Amino acid sequence: MNIPDLRVDIGGLNLENPVMTASGTFGYAREFESYIDLNRLGGIIVKGLSLLPAKGNPPPRIVETACGMLNAIGLENVGIDAFLRDKLPFLARLRPPVIANIYGKTVDEYAQLAGRLESADAVKGIEVNISCPNVKQGGWFSVRIRGLPPRWCAPCAGKPPNT
């Protein structure tokens, strides 16, 4: 029996297979190492990162429903410094590429985060979070400001914003 070739290329990022974790649901991967062989994943997208640590929403933040669960974690995270110092060394030892999810409140915050991650060899991609509904402001990044995504994403890619 032939084993199918599951390799995929996403914008130049080569994955052994298309199975990736969903940002915000998989922490920083270490939390799941006793449940799954992390090296079997195609890619690991980590929990959203901000410049400073964030506590997120107060409990209760997860509610079970008849058809699954609802969550409103509120972008809790360790912040970029702790991620680079404490979380990334573990991730760097794994085979799947690491994709960092970032979020900020200004274009400059996004650019700073992307710049910090650019020098981290173990981070192979950046996912820009501009629409989390589980924060006090709601999904204002993408909903309330027309044309915002290109302006906010361009500095993260090292390109001048399209105005």
Q: What is the pLDDT of residues 79-113, one digit of tens each?
A: 999 999 999 999 999 999 999 999 888 778 888 99
Residue 152 lies in a domain: yes
Task: State how many domains the chain has.
Answer: 1
Q: Residue 19's domain is classified under what CATH number? A: 3.20.20.70
Can you name the residues that pair with 70 across neighbouring β-strands?
A: 63
pTM to 2 decimals?
A: 0.80
Pairing of strands 98-102, 44-45: parallel
Which residue range forms the structural domain that includes residue 54? 8-157
Residue 3 lies in a domain: no
Residue 45 lies in a domain: yes
Residue 163 lies in a domain: no
Residue 36 lies in a domain: yes
The answer to whether the bond into 161 is cis (omega within 30° of 0) is no
Residue 135 lies in a domain: yes
- Per-residue pLDDT of 46-65, as tens digits, reads 999 999 999 988 988 889 99
Task: Order the strands of the 44-45 sheet from edge to edge.
Answer: 44-45, 98-102, 123-128
Contact 152, 114 (CB under 8 A): no
Query: Is 156 in the active site?
Result: no
- Checking if the pLDDT of 137 tops 80, the result is no
